[in-house]
Amino acid sequence: MRLSLGEIARVLEGSLVGDPEHEVSRVATVEEAKTGEICVVWDPESAKAIASSSATAFVTAMDLQVELGHQIKVADPQAALIDLLEMLHPFPKAPEGIEEGAQVAADVKCADGVYISSGAKVEPGVVLGSRAQIHAGAFIGSKVSVGEDSVIHPNVSIYSGTLIGKRVVIHSGAVIGSDGFGYRQAADGRQRKIPQVGTVEIEDDVEIGAGTTIDRATLGKTVIQRGTKIDNLVQIAHNSEIGADCCIVAQAGVAGSSRVGDSTMIGAQAGISDHVTVGDGVLVGAQSGVADDLPSGDWIGSPAMAAARAPRVFAILNRLPEIYEELRSLRRRCEVLEREVGELRSAGERGR
């Protein structure tokens, strides 16, 4: 696809410096761009590379003072990048129909425009909304519901009874609705499995990364609310509820029966303990360990502490060996002083 700089400037609501008839065909990085390509610049490091770039045009912040042949100045370059990618790199038209080699139960309900790839398996009682896509190797268990315009990528496993909303994207290797990790140790020491008979509900506009696992509830449901984005290799345990518009980054884990509020950010490798409540708009830093409720604010470290306090704590942690040696020295000096004071008191009493 080719678009003129004038068209792009109008969509981005930007100020164009240069020829509006000039055309570009794709978005590229400043370092790798060629003639006919456009770059977006928002950080100082990228700005340094502009002089040696072969790009035809640049999208920059309003206040960037650089001599460029073709430049579109915008209020928010990062937002403009998303718009540009959507314009110049549109998703291909979704396929339709059921391919030969797909295993589809006779009573599966398919709305208009559904696509099921060869190698996918769809079990009885499944309902697929308009334009839903089920790609190769995906398994859709019995009585699953997949909403319109949702995409189930290759080799996803969706266990029976799972409810998936509209415009949900689930990437390869994700497992939705597997048993929650529930066991009780019997008197003889053996682990007795607690049957997991609940389900999982994924609301509209959720995206779930590759290799992520979301467990079904013991009773009731595990819920991922509208608009939440979950990265690769994340674990959401049984009966947890993740609020709307959250971001959960790779290798994070949320233990059973926890509640995460709306618009909360959970960093990579962070761990949320079971039966914990995290409030709305909370930021949990990477590798943080959350064992208690977090009502609000930014938190980091393990155990998690207020982010504003963390730098002082970490600075002290780095000096603990020296601080310990200093404490031992002070303790020895105190012991000497206490003996000397005691001896002086005894001498004074004998002299009376």
Which residues participate in catalysis according to the annotation? Answer: 238
Q: How far is CA 219 from CA 31, 96, 235, in A?
A: 53, 36, 19
Query: What is the Rg, in whole angstroms, of the alpha carbon atoms belonging to the chain?
Result: 29
**Which candidate, 108, 107, 95, places its Cα nearest to that of 146?**
108
What phi and psi, each to the nearest 5 degrees, are found at residue 245?
A: 60, 30
Sign of the torsion formed by the C-alpha atoms of 141, 147, 148 and 151: negative
Longest dimension (CA), the chain: 111
Confirm if 21 and 15 have CB atoms less than 8 A apart.
no
**Which candidate, 121, 123, 129, 126, places its Cα nearest to that of 105?**
123
Confirm if 140 and 158 have CB atoms less than 8 A apart.
yes
Helix (H, G, I), strand (E, B) or coil at 213: strand
CA distance 72 to 141: 50
**Which candidate, 146, 139, 138, 30, places its Cα nearest to that of 81?**
30
